[in-house]
Amino acid sequence: MRLLDGTATVDDLDTFLATLDDVAEATGTTVQAFDADYVVSAEHLERALDRADRAIARGENVARERAVEVLCYAAGRRQINRALEMGVSEGENRVIVLVDSPAGDDEAEAAAVERLRDHVEEAPVLGAYDEGTVRAFFDVSDAEISAVDGDLADLVLERVALLDVEK
């Protein structure tokens, strides 16, 4: 898995998503873009990818496409429509783009990232999430944060892991 983070200006969402699909198809990779405000860490996306692959292998996936299944796990939601909130939107976006080759092809991942650089201006946004957005999206209360040893990022990782239990 590789992550490309930075900013992207999305004039037309359908065109931007078609570009991601074209890159994925041309390189044999999975490509999914996230709004950086919702992504707490690289581990967040690594865990989502792992859980999505496990669900697909077991035939328990809710999405037909691997990229959408990853999005659902990253969002901690089985409903695709609700998970889409974590994706990019039209306008200026701080983005994190996940690129992964299901076959483990590092060269394909590198080629995909290279092609995506035409659409993402690289900048260090990974880990610079919006705490209020994350807390609201993942429904994390003050009481929950004060009751655990970890922090907000740990609670989000727990939400990703618990999605399997909630099925």
| pTM > 0.85: yes or no | yes
Specify whether the CB–CB gap between 161 and 47 falls below 8 A. yes
Above 70 in pLDDT, residue 166?
A: no
Give the SS3 label for residue 38.
Answer: helix
Task: Round to whole Å and give the CA distance between 93 and 89.
Answer: 7
Task: Round to whole Å and give the CA distance between 118 and 16.
Answer: 12
**Per-chain mean pLDDT for the chain:** 94
Residue 140 half-sphere exposure, CB side, CA atoms within 13 Å?
23
* Orientation angle between helical segments 152-165 and 42-58, nearest 10 degrees: 0
Q: What tokens appear for 87 in the block?
A: 């994706």
pLDDT at 101: 98
Task: Round to whole Å and give the CA distance between 100 and 82.
Answer: 23
Specify whether the CB–CB gap between 29 and 108 falls below 8 A. yes
pLDDT at 164: 66
Question: Which residues have C-beta within 8 Å of that of residue 22, sequence separation ≥ 6?
Answer: none
In tens, the pLDDT along 68-102 reads 999 999 999 989 999 999 999 999 999 999 999 99
User: Quick one: what percent of the chain has pLDDT higher than 90?
Assistant: 84
pLDDT band for position 148 (cuts 50, 70, 90): confident
Question: Which residues have C-beta within 8 Å of that of residue 25, sequence separation ≥ 6?
Answer: none
Residue count of the chain: 167
Q: Where are the beta strands (DSSP E) in the chain?
A: 2-10, 30-35, 91-100, 121-122
Mean pLDDT, to the nearest integer, of 22-33?
98
Cα-Cα-Cα-Cα dihedral of 22, 24, 27, 28, to 10°?
-130
Of the listed ranges 19-28, 108-117, 133-142, the least confidently predicted one is 133-142
Q: Distance between alpha carbon 28 and the CA centroid of its chain, in Å? A: 18
pLDDT at 96: 98
pLDDT at 160: 87
pLDDT band for position 65 (cuts 50, 70, 90): very high
pLDDT at 41: 97
CATH superfamily of 2-165: CGI121/TPRKB (3.30.2380.10)
Q: What is the per-residue DSSP string for 33-95?
A: EEEGGG---HHHHHHHHHHHHHHHHHT--S-SSHHHHHHHHHHT-S-HHHHGGGS--SEEEEE
